[in-house]
Chains A and B, each alone.
Chain A
């Protein structure tokens, strides 16, 4: 992981890619390329083994049934567990976030086993959370206020080994009454934010690249992503 080459593994776009999750892949590729760092991206179908040499693994959102299938296949495969043991970066959104935890709510609300890589538990909430989210990221991550769009029925509680990714300013987030959005543990970061989150929050994309490379990155000229972030923040929490 110290070599200046990043292998991105997009986990199961055939199951976990309901809403623009490809954007997270594209923005990582782009922000690496602008710094002269080559990337290689694997679009991993759910009938293929998870490569164990990835630097950044991405999991997106999905419907109930695909989420259950994805969790089963990833548990059977074990490749993502191996990657986590290597301290690889894993960024998981919505349904993908939930399956990173110990358990999540199935299509009838029944508890189903997750991958247990992130110390969270998810369950079916009382009502669907739909709308823009703004939250302030945990100070140690050094990422400014983030913006996204949430659309989930599940609620998530963070256990002692994980930390809240951010504190909700507007929106629902984890929805367990604690006022947090997302969770992280080592290099595993989960969030309910679509948007896609890394497009709307370039600093978050850079955090993942920094983790993967193990070094600081040179700053980039502002792009349309920064303007999008400003525009969204202003639309939701007018300054």
Chain B
């Protein structure tokens, strides 16, 4: 901090005051308002705060908050790590995260996909982890092909940044391919509807679909899956030395989190933290901003799963209790959710057949029309509590999109 110019120190101090006031007023954790005030007073604040630190940027459509947590946890042996743990993943949040940990030599910053070029330019981050790209809230988000093109340009201009990228996602591979150095992680890709065409030339991609072989290549041009350095294979990660490392100790469920863990292991290995040291630390992460949290309420054990887009629903289905375990679904369409609900038709809900399914949220009728077409039996309820009362005591899986999730979480206990 002492190295910061006076104006920047003032910017940090005022930002921090604003953040505390925002917290006191009960308006969230204050990291956005604090960062906003800091950046207004010193537009180069992010660059200054990033100087002399080793920074990791983490970006993807899905899993960036969780992976940021896993990496941060695994880096604790290195000393204090600055991070935007509350998911404030734009520059304002990055400023707050770095300003609140002035002594931290390391930083792990979750970064919104659109902001990767800007944040990379301002921070010159040492490492960039890129995991997946898929359709997401298209009424406000960028087109993903365009986005990957912007990553390419930004990485080309940032030769000091080493990239850790998921080579099972063709669009991410293309987005990362201009980096000077890349560690490729075969971290899996379950949602493939956005990657049937070659990002390089538009030709058809030929894809393998096996646990042992998820190779892909363009039928028309040279573009093909790079040889992976790390490979996620079922419950194990195979490291560059060929050692199979079991992931069974992780406390976050499902293949999506095994994929997140594979990326995290490759990231921290760059800082000299070996998998055997990293994994027990990653196992300490049990829920992330309420996701995967279990809430007890009147004899019901509710597990809260956040799903914001089609790829996210696939991941949530993967961790459901076996049928006929009951499921409650809640969908809203406010700004953060995306106001267009058409994406519901990209999700294959037939997997819910044979379970008791409750449907709620502001857009429950959209969901009902969707489930009707999928021939899934369901009950529509006006209020989530009615679903809770209707299921017998025991386990209830709850899948909700962003604001619906926050509503349920606020109502039944905020556990971070």
Contacts and interface: CB of A to CB of B under 8 A. Distances in A.
Interface of A: 13-15, 17-23, 26-27, 30, 45-47, 63-66, 69, 130-132, 149, 151, 194-196, 199, 223-225, 227-228, 231
11 contacts: A14-B197, A20-B345, A22-B345, A23-B342, A30-B373, A69-B202, A149-B342, A151-B340, A194-B340, A225-B369, A227-B368
B373 A26 contact: yes
A64 B146 contact: yes
A46 B345 contact: no
Interface of B: 135, 138-140, 143-146, 193, 196-197, 202-204, 219, 339-346, 365-366, 368-370, 372-374
Given A22-B345, A131-B339, A199 B204 contact: no
A130 B141 CA distance: 12
Nearest to B378: A224
Q: List the 5 closest A-B pairs by CB distance, nearest first.
A: A20-B345, A23-B345, A20-B342, A14-B196, A224-B369
Contact of B197 (A69, A131, A194): A69
B145 A19 contact: no
Nearest to B342: A20
A118 B283 CA distance: 58
Contacts of A225: 369, 372
B342 A45 contact: no
Contact of A47 (B204, B341, B345, B370): B204
B61 to A, nearest CB: 14
Contacts of B144: 63
A66 B145 contact: yes
Contacts, number: 94
A227 B367 CA distance: 12
Given A224-B365, A228-B369, A66 B197 contact: yes
A55 B139 CA distance: 32
A224 B372 contact: yes
Report whether over half of chain A's contact residues are helix, strand or loop; otherwise say mixed.
Answer: mixed
Nearest to B373: A26
Nearest to A17: B193
Given A130-B139, A199-B345, A224-B368, A149 B197 contact: no
Contact of B346 (A20, A130, A224): A20
Given A149-B139, A149-B339, 17 more contacts: A14-B197, A18-B138, A19-B342, A20-B342, A20-B343, A26-B374, A30-B373, A45-B196, A63-B146, A65-B145, A69-B202, A151-B138, A151-B139, A223-B372, A227-B369, A228-B366, A228-B369
Contacts of B145: 63-66
Contacts of A19: 135, 138, 340, 342-343, 346
A197 to B, nearest CB: 9
Contacts of B368: 224, 227-228
A148 to B, nearest CB: 9
Given A18-B135, A225-B369, A196 B146 contact: no
Nearest to B135: A18
Given A30-B373, A130-B139, A225-B369, A195 B197 contact: no
Nearest to B371: A224
A142 B339 CA distance: 29
B197 A15 contact: yes
Nearest to B374: A26
Nearest to A73: B202
Contacts of B193: 13, 17
A26 to B, nearest CB: 5
B109 to A, nearest CB: 28
A66 B145 CA distance: 9
B10 to A, nearest CB: 38
Contacts of B340: 19, 149, 151, 194
A83 B298 CA distance: 60
B376 to A, nearest CB: 12
Nearest to A25: B345
B369 A223 contact: yes
Contact of A65 (B202, B345, B369): B202
Contact of A64 (B139, B143, B365): B143
B342 A195 contact: yes
A225 B342 CA distance: 13
Contacts of B197: 14-15, 46, 66, 69
Contacts of B204: 14, 45-47
A226 to B, nearest CB: 9
B147 to A, nearest CB: 10
Contacts of A20: 342-346
A26 B140 CA distance: 26
B76 to A, nearest CB: 41
A213 B339 CA distance: 35
B63 to A, nearest CB: 21
